[in-house]
Amino acid sequence: MPTALKEWATTCDHLRRGQHTLLLRKGGIQEKRSGFILQHFDFFLYPTVFHQHRQLVTPPETSPTAPVTESTSVTIDLYAQVEQSWCVRELERLRTLSGLHSLPWPMVEDRFHYRDKPYLDVLLVRIFRSRLTIIENRPEYAGCHSWVQLEEDIPLTGLKPVIKDSDFEQLHERVRGLLH
């Protein structure tokens, strides 16, 4: 069974268009005290609007492909590979990442301080377009947790990177320089 990381639909749209390369994670309510754990280094992205509010994402927040309400089906068309991850414990270091992720600064601050544990996990992800697959939005996929095991089989053939290799390597070097 393939694994998917739940992410806001608008963030998925930004990743799909190559506008962002970072995910900032803290963990869902159902993940209790452990918070977000990077269990997988390659996974599909499961777009969701759970907790997504238009004022909580950076422009272009109005996306023609990002849904605003949950549906009975979900379109899976993005595959991610984590190239590098960091646990950032200094809020000001996160400010330097503006424009590389889809969260506005107030949301970054809120997530950073969530549960009185000051940190955020930063994931540099390489995004690939996969064959468009529509799956059922099952009840077991619902809720405030990061990872889902998909019941449907999704082929990994024909993956195409959304950012050219050379451009992605430059972005990787830039982020590495900002976080080291």
How far apart CA 39 and CA 85 sit, in angstroms, is 12
pLDDT of residue 51 exceeding 60: no
pLDDT of residue 13 exceeding 60: yes
State the pTM of this model: 0.86
Specify whether the CB–CB gap between 69 and 100 falls below 8 A.
no
Sorted by where each begins, the domain ranges of the chain are: 3-179
How far apart CA 126 and CA 146 sit, in angstroms, is 18
| pLDDT band with cut points at 50, 70 and 90 for residue 84 | very high
Mean per-residue pLDDT for 106-117? 92
- pLDDT tens digits for range 56-81: 555 544 444 444 456 789 999 999 99
C-beta neighbour count of 91 within 10 angstroms: 15
How far apart CA 24 and CA 50 sit, in angstroms, is 16
Residue type, 74: V
Long-range own/partner contacts, residues 61-65 (CB < 8 A, 24 or more apart): 61/10, 63/9, 63/10, 63/13, 63/14, 65/13, 65/16
Closest CA to 163 of 22, 8, 62: 22
